[in-house]
Chain A
Amino acid sequence: MGKVKGKSGPLARRPDNSAFKQQRLPAWSPMLTATTVLPFFYLMALICMLLGVWLLLTVQSTQEIKLDYTEAGTCDMCFEKRKNVSNAAQICTCTVVFPIKKALKGDVFFYYGLQNFHQNLRRYMDSRDDAQMVGRKTNLKNPSSYCEPFMKDPNGLPIAPCGAVANSIFNDTFTLTYHGSSGPSIPVPLLRKGITWYTDKNVKYRNPKNDNMTLAQVFEGTARPLYWQKPVYELDLLDPTNNGFINDDLIIWMREAAFPNFKKLYGVLYRAKQPFTKGLPAGNYTINISYNFPVQYFRGRKEVVLTTLTWFGGQNHFLPIAYLVTSCLILLIAIILTVVWWKFGKNGKRLEE
């Protein structure tokens, strides 16, 4: 631990008298005293209480309609049909009727939900190639080995997009129809674009550079995923900004859910025309489903969710209740601490030496 110092003389090796070296740095020594801890507890209880009440009131004002259509209405037929793999290519549509008793005011969001579908398995989550989906040519033709067994089709062509995630894309489609108390049925207009994260749509997923080629030419030499009916460059033929890897439905599906029960955004109510300018009016609705996605293998359920939003997101009863419970517990602890401190505390008695 030699130190090279310019000093010399009789006190050459005397350590410096700096506050740091002498461990005398000015410091704040907080202590757990009743005067600091108890008020803190009461304050926390109060804050949690207020937040909880506020959240609860907010949540009360939202509405949510859930509709499990796995076997509902005419879908039981399709459900049976999809049990057999050989029928996978056949088209099956079904209809479910449901009422909305109270109008959903404001923006209404349309979700599809899956239960018991494990998007969070490690091998499933890894089974994708982000480099491919960001449009790298080399990865397009040579997908990452993580995509196995969905890397190449039986003919040896690389699959685009490769991997289990893309392969298992949710492929039911929905059309919603409003049956007002009077008048004809009106299809409910849904915005099916602009429903992804900005970063996903613009950074994370890009089509390969196409230098005046069509998308189909770019993807030449690749195969569509095994379970897909159409190749990736035909996902939305009408809108080139929603086709290929940057298709909104694909992007949403590729953002893997953390838990086996999840819902994903399908569309947002387009509120330009009557009678939907204020949201979804009360009345009867039918939902037409192109029933493709099989769930019976893994005992899953499919559902449709219609919901309105609050300032902190969708309808969420967990947070307000959790806050209220927390606040009560902290209050309880605070009272116990106060009693204990008051009755039994030894704080402040003399230091016996």
Chain B
Amino acid sequence: MNVCLLLTCLWIMTMCCLYVEKERHVKANAQDYNDKFSYAVSRPQNDTRFALFTSVGCGYFISAVSECVILQDNHIKTSKYNILTFLPMNLFEQFQRVANAYFLVLLILQLIPEISSLSWFTTIVPLVLVLVITAVKDATDDYFRHKSDQQVNNRQSQVLIRGSMQSEKWMNIRVGDIIKLENNQFVAADILLLCSSEPYGLCYIETAELDGETNLKVRQSLTATSDMGDITKLMDFDGEVICEPPNNKLDRFTGTLYWRDNKYPLDNEKMLLRGCVLRNTEWCFGMVIFAGLQTKLMQNCGGTKFKKTSIDKLMNTLVLWIFAFLICMGVILAIGNTIWESWIGRNFQVFLPWNALQSSAVFSGFLTFWSYIIILNTVVPISLYVSVEVLRLGHSYFINWDRRMYCSRTDTAAEARTTTLNEELGQVEFIFSDKTGTLTQNIMVFSKCSINGQTYDHTDWLMSFQRILNDFTKTILSFYDGSLVEAIKLEDPAVQEFFRLLALCHTVMPEEKSEGNLVYQAQSPDEGALVTAARNFGFVFRSRTPETITLCEMGRAVTYQLLAILDFNNVRKRMSVIVRNPQGQIKLYSKGADSIIFERLDPSSEDLMHTTSEHLSEFAGEGLRTLALAYKDLDEDYFDVWTKKLMFASTVIENREDQLAVLYEEIEQGLKLLGATAIEDKLQEGVPETITCLNLADIKIWVLTGDKLETAMNIGYSCNILRDNMNEVFVISGHTLLEHILGLSRDGNDRSNRCDVQYVFSLQVHALEPQLEHVFLDLACLCKTVICCRVTPMQKAQVVELVKRHKRAVTLAIGDGANDVSMIKTAHIGVGISGQEGMQAVLASDYSFAQFRFLRRLLLVHGRWSYFRMCNFLCYFFYKNFAFTLVHFWYGFFCGFSAQTVYDQWFITLFNIVYTSLPVLAMGLFDQDVNDQNSLRYPSLYKPGQQNLLFNKRQFFLCTLQGMGTSFLLFFIPYGAFTVIVKEDGSHFSDQQSFAVTIATSLVIIVSVQIGLDTHYWTAVNHLFIWGSLTVYFATLFAMQSNGIFGIFPSNFPFIGTARNCLSEKSVWLVILLTAVVCVVPGLAVSFLRVDLFPTLTDKSRKRQGPQEQNLRRVRRTSSRRSAYAFSHQQGYGELITSGKNMRMSTVSSARSPERTPQSPTWIENILQKKNEVSDEITGAKQTQQQQHTD
């Protein structure tokens, strides 16, 4: 019965895996209905049952099924194993590695007595050790993944269950649930907005996690659902949504709501996506449409791929080569054996008859082949992979421990989240960086201003607007430029007018939570910075209604009548307000891009314009964002006429936009210049220095941002990606496929012969289409710098993928938001900036730290070291194993190719894992060719890594050659000595066991000397390990050849007493000394010659170790290039304000009143009654406009 049930369940699960969703049907509050559809099967109580079932089945199949189960709810899963699947899956994965599988085969071979030339323990001991270490590491990794998954899955959320709001874990939210979100909460799933605390079902979200833009966005629910503010109504809600299946398009949603026999179209404006944060909205209700892995955020994250470093790939190739080499040797020796057996062995049968199996010399050769494969298997070093893992783990810990990558402000240390990529950090050629939050802090600070031809500069950089926000009563801050404060105190009219403009001309919403605690909600941080600046200088913007603005000017409350807002848009690049001040004068205040404002100035302002223009250049040169401010006194009559025209124009249906633009243009003429502001888009600390430094290291930095072109370029200049000496900056943008083809190929032809070229791309979808990607890539790679703007998260990944695929270069992506996740996952190395809001990027990343500037240390110090250490380690490792193993090959020629080993079996077992593992690990962990200060000081030291110089096929060939040479000398020098050797007491001494001990001892000494020569940085640990290994070798040697252990296992330790008899002989030590000298000297001579004749930069800088500060600070530009951009690229909020839609009733009453009925007649309603017609149309127009924009 139970089995039947299980099977049925399994069948359903399998079916649902196969089922492809074409259309989604979700019904609110109707779980039974939703459960009918495969996507909504589950609360995962069934999980345990399936887990039980899993123990029987094979890991992969089960995990596939269980993933299916998980797809249904809001559960996300990044981990790989669970307790039951761990062992089979992990072993399966481990044996997929060529090396491990190979050793398994060897082990099987060794169990065949006819072939076995070595005991089984020589392979199984290292193999088990390797498997256990790797498994432990994998288990710990997965454990932390489980923990982070759990942390996200266990976030609490309010869900409407059976008529009441209940707290549920995120992972238990199901499609069709109605959930409640509160201010500043993350949205748990993709939900349809039903209603909110704000009027008209408006709510504000921040989408930084999704697309990196931090300005607030508005979402509005359907009017039909916007009044369902209380639970009973929500309970009764039984609308059914039919919509598109889950996809990764962040800006598109199509669906229909069927409710009460009505159809309502749904679009993206009504959706809140997972990863967004609710802002400035007390609460809202929504219905879950997509959950868990089906959310647009998760769909945008590419699947977790196992990242391999290029060294890994090279290593795999080399292992295959070695394997081929091994087979060659086996064949040679097998042929040798056949020949030997037929010439000599045949005659030796009196003493050693051929056994039953060995019917002929040829068959004997065949068996010998396998025997030699077993003996020579140590050329493919079994401990290689595990040693590499240990090294990487160690390097990761060093990254975690680095104090210089610790940010004390956010209390976050750098973290290596994956431990498999460290050496790749030393080979990075391309960095793809996000802008917002990565290069910049996304904090705008009012930094300078020019008023009436006079510049004011504040002296204290510590002033941040965050600090002042909380206390608006403290009007004048002492650390501002004294002269400006003086000017305000003296009531200089120009200065006053300047700040009055800043306080009036904007679309910021004030929110006074309690007395004296004023919070501004600005659509763009720039505006917030300006208004805040005005407040700090005594012009406090306190409140607004649709028709008034109240300021607190130098302590006096002044109310201005707001007559019109001439809103900002991309074409106008300016905004104006028309107000009537208490004295009855009508004034137009305007701010905007300098070029735009200057065109519209009154001739009387010409002188001032020139001065201001100079100031603007100066500001722009420092990378500040500038705006020009101007005002105009309006004549009452003129204004009346204009207003009438405006009223008329705004009711026109056709061409309303154009007509309005003309009217605006008409009134914004003859302005009087007031001055200019400069806002600093604060960069993260140390960004320009870092970028300069990385550029010196030949790393190409591409900025991929979703932001607009102007901002991107501005940031490009201020953080030294773009420099003034780059004489050609090309901006390519186009909207259609055709334009792109033309633009790209034309420019490609033009510039192909120049190299000092900069490009800024405004990337549209088409640039990444197959026909264009080559043109795009070729062109982009001609440039020193590439900035791509307006890219979607998926496009970011595509760009990275493009470079990765065609350039065969190591790429690194760095970002902080969820919009960077796909790129972080695609790049060879993903770096997440932590400590900001949201952890998506960090969770997907391989490395994370708090600030961009740490990238310099991560790459130039840790990456370089890791790469250097890994390469040195590998070279030495291959050398060591060749020297160790090939001795058997030479011995083959003297022992009738009979696969007799030179060494004791225990020596073979322990050589790699005990006698020589620790010194090479110590070198791989602690070695420093150049100390960290010098690594940072000479970024060129990074270049060998990019060019793959330290470990490549040539280096591999050289170090194996050295190993072969060593093995040759190591065999033939003792051979020469041992043919004639006798002991000091005359007794027979040229036996195989003494020979074995002599060679083994020579080998251990030679490889220890060699590691000593290869170590550049002898710490106490190196000393301990090197001397310790030698000690351990001798101790083990004597222990294993002692009377006691022989007494217990006579068959396993036949070498009893050899060490004692052998190492007490002077002649043996003479042989060892000679061998060591002969083996080491050539290598030493060659490396001396290399350092002497062709010193690399590393060698040179090693000579001059010592701290010295290098000045990488950027030089201030004196540029004529100006940035004039301080607005969001979206349409402003002007219409929302004038319509009064986003006005709160009152801050006090709106706090906690979800059951409030918006029907209660207030003054806003009255106003709206009047304007109803107009505003509705405006909203409609606005929506269509926005849609056009997003399309």
Contacts and interface: CB of A to CB of B under 8 A. Distances in A.
Contacts of A294: 350
B1062 to A, nearest CB: 10
B1135 to A, nearest CB: 45
Contacts of B896: 118, 120-121, 260
A322 B976 CA distance: 9
Nearest to A264: B988
A263 B1105 CA distance: 59
B328 interface: no
A44 B1077 contact: yes
Contacts of B979: 259, 261, 318
A131 B442 CA distance: 80
Contact of B411 (A10, A119, A122, A262): A10
A316 B1077 contact: no
Interface in B348-401: 348, 350-353, 355, 371, 396-398, 400-401
B442 to A, nearest CB: 23
A26 B1020 CA distance: 8
B1077 A313 contact: no
Considering residues B406, B979, B1105, which has the most beta carbons from chain A within 10 angstroms of its beta carbon? B979
A118 to B, nearest CB: 5
B1074 A326 contact: yes
B55 interface: no
Interface stretch (B274-282, B587-595, B1093-1101): B1093-1101
B1103 A31 contact: yes
Interface in B951-1008: 973, 975-984, 986-996
Contacts of B978: 258-259
B1028 interface: no
Considering residues B981, B1078, B1081, which has the most beta carbons from chain A within 10 angstroms of its beta carbon? B1081
A323 interface: yes
A200 interface: yes
B403 A15 contact: yes
Interface stretch (A215-223, A274-282, A336-344): A336-344
B1077 A144 contact: no
Interface stretch (B526-534, B1053-1061, B1113-1121): B1053-1061
B1077 A326 contact: yes
B139 to A, nearest CB: 14
A240 interface: no
Contacts of A232: none
B482 interface: no
Interface string B322-362: 00000000000000000000001101101111010000000
Interface residues of A, number: 104
Interface string B610-630: 000000000000000000000
A197 B348 CA distance: 29
A27 B1017 contact: yes
Contacts of A1: 144, 396-397, 400, 415-417
Interface stretch (B220-228, B760-768, B870-878, B1065-1073): B1065-1073
B408 interface: yes
B1091 interface: yes
A123 B1018 contact: no
B1017 A124 contact: no
Nearest to A110: B986
Interface stretch (A16-24, A71-79, A95-103, A182-190): A16-24
Given A15-B401, A199-B1061, A204-B1057, A125 B900 contact: yes
Contact of A129 (B117, B899, B1051): B1051
B7 interface: no
A162 interface: no
Contacts of A29: 928, 1016-1018, 1102, 1105
B893 to A, nearest CB: 11
Given A14-B413, A199-B1061, A330 B1081 contact: yes
Contact of B352 (A164, A264, A314, A340): A164
Contacts of A311: 984, 1066
A209 to B, nearest CB: 14
A257 interface: yes
Interface residues of B, number: 106
Nearest to A12: B411
A32 B401 contact: no
A353 B1050 contact: no
Contacts of B396: 1
Contacts of A309: 982, 984, 986
A198 B940 CA distance: 64
A111 B988 CA distance: 9
Contacts of A37: 1084, 1088
Contacts of B400: 1, 15
Given A122-B899, A203-B1057, A311-B1066, A319 B982 contact: no
A89 to B, nearest CB: 15
Contacts of B1067: 312-313, 316, 319
Nearest to B344: A298
Considering residues A1, A14, A256, which has the most beta carbons from chain B within 10 angstroms of its beta carbon? A1
A140 interface: no
B1046 A318 contact: no
A122 B371 contact: yes
A341 B1085 CA distance: 12
A55 B1070 contact: yes
B795 interface: no
A346 B1094 CA distance: 7
Contacts of B899: 122
A55 B502 CA distance: 99
A123 B355 contact: yes
Contact of A256 (B147, B351, B898, B992): B992
A11 B406 CA distance: 10
A203 B1046 contact: yes
B1061 A107 contact: no
A38 to B, nearest CB: 8
Given A263-B990, A312-B1066, A345-B1092, 9 more contacts: A22-B402, A29-B1018, A31-B1091, A149-B353, A168-B351, A203-B1046, A256-B993, A258-B991, A346-B1094
Interface of B: 117, 144, 147, 344-345, 347-348, 350-353, 355, 371, 396-398, 400-403, 406, 408, 411-413, 415-417, 894-896, 898-901, 926, 928, 932, 938, 940, 973, 975-984, 986-996, 1016-1022, 1043, 1046-1047, 1050-1051, 1054, 1056-1057, 1060-1061, 1065-1067, 1070-1071, 1074, 1077-1078, 1081-1082, 1084-1085, 1087-1089, 1091-1095, 1097, 1100-1105
22 contacts: A15-B413, A29-B1017, A31-B1102, A34-B1092, A44-B1077, A120-B896, A124-B898, A125-B992, A130-B1054, A149-B353, A149-B355, A195-B986, A203-B1043, A256-B991, A259-B979, A265-B982, A299-B347, A326-B1077, A344-B1092, A345-B1093, A346-B1092, A346-B1094
Interface of A: 1-2, 10-17, 21-23, 25-32, 34, 37, 41, 44, 48, 51, 55, 107, 109, 111, 116, 118-125, 127, 129-131, 134, 136, 144, 148-149, 164, 167-168, 195-200, 203-204, 252, 255-265, 268, 294, 297-299, 307, 309, 311-319, 322-323, 326, 329-330, 333, 337, 340-341, 344-348, 351, 353
